[in-house]
Amino acid sequence: MAGIEMHPDDHNEIGDALEWMRLTYALDYPARPDSWERPEDYPQSWSVRAYIEADILEPDDDTLEVEADAHGRVTVAEAHVYLIPDIGDVNLFDTFDAHSAELSQFAEAFIAAGSEPSQLSIEGGPVLDGDLMIVSWVSVQPRFRGHRAGHQVIKAVLDAIGRSTVVTVLRAAPGLQDGVDEGSAKHRMECRGLAKYWGELGFRPLDGNIMVLTYEDMLVMLEDDDPEDVDIDELRDVPLMQLSQEQRDAVFRNLRTKIDELP
């Protein structure tokens, strides 16, 4: 690992750098999935890594070292999610129970919240079309915390592999560390903090510390992300690298529109 340096007090610099964050995805899945004959293999297993190029951090001499890989990439966050395609066509509990104890706890949460063991439902309505996404875990590197990087990762995952997702769930609980017992005062405090954090993205309690984001919640979240009006004329003489990501997106959208209007 190569050392890259970053100014420890420049909070805005990190936030600006995260606008250039990219994600890599790795899928482990059978060639011929079968939810009935091999339910344990049916959930898709996705590993996700979010990173930024090291040179975007604009290293400074009096700084804190940040680790970059051999390709000059600095890891921002990592995550693991499961995607269950066409959730209305599978047996909810049998599929999750056959896969792992981890997924079983999510099935049990849905059942406790009112779903039938054989069919997922939200607020009494069966989920017949679309995919279910289970966020197994998200881990943001300490130096990038405080910028809602976890929110950005989940939004990007939903946009990339979760386009047909109608329900997303996660467990708002930290991994247990040495000296911290589940149910202890410190653990409960951390769970409350995570519940607040994911609640800001639109997740709401399902059962215990398991939270759910429905399709309607996702639409609200995406509407909140709609870019504000940008005056393209005011940006005409501004160097591209000095524009924010929102401004760059607006410039490129305007350019594509003009190209499409060409005879």
Q: Please report which confidence band the pLDDT of residue 62 belongs to, taking 50, 70 and 90 as the band edges.
A: very low
Q: Which of the following CATH numbers is that of domain 2-226: 1.10.10, 3.30.410, 3.10.310, 3.40.630?
A: 3.40.630
Domain boundaries, the chain: 2-226, 228-263
Least confident window among 61-75, 87-101, 114-128, 162-176: 61-75
Q: Which residue has the higher pLDDT, 195 or 260?
A: 195
Least confident window among 109-118, 181-190, 194-203: 181-190
Closest CA to 74 of 83, 86, 65: 65
> Which amino acid does the sequence have at 209?
N
Quick one: pLDDT at residue 16? Answer: 83
Looking at the predicted structure, is the pLDDT value of residue 216 above 60? yes
pLDDT digits (tens, 9 = 90+) for 133-168: 999 999 999 989 989 999 999 999 999 999 999 999
* Sequence-ordered strand ranges (E) for the chain: 2-6, 22-28, 44-53, 64-68, 73-84, 121-122, 125-126, 131-140, 165-171, 204-207, 210-214
Looking at the predicted structure, is the pLDDT value of residue 10 above 80? no
Question: Residue 113 class from Cβ within 10 Å (0-12 exposed, 13-18 middle, 19+ buried)?
Answer: middle
Dist. CA 8–CA 10, nearest whole Å: 6
pLDDT digits (tens, 9 = 90+) for 224-256: 665 555 666 776 666 655 566 566 666 666 665
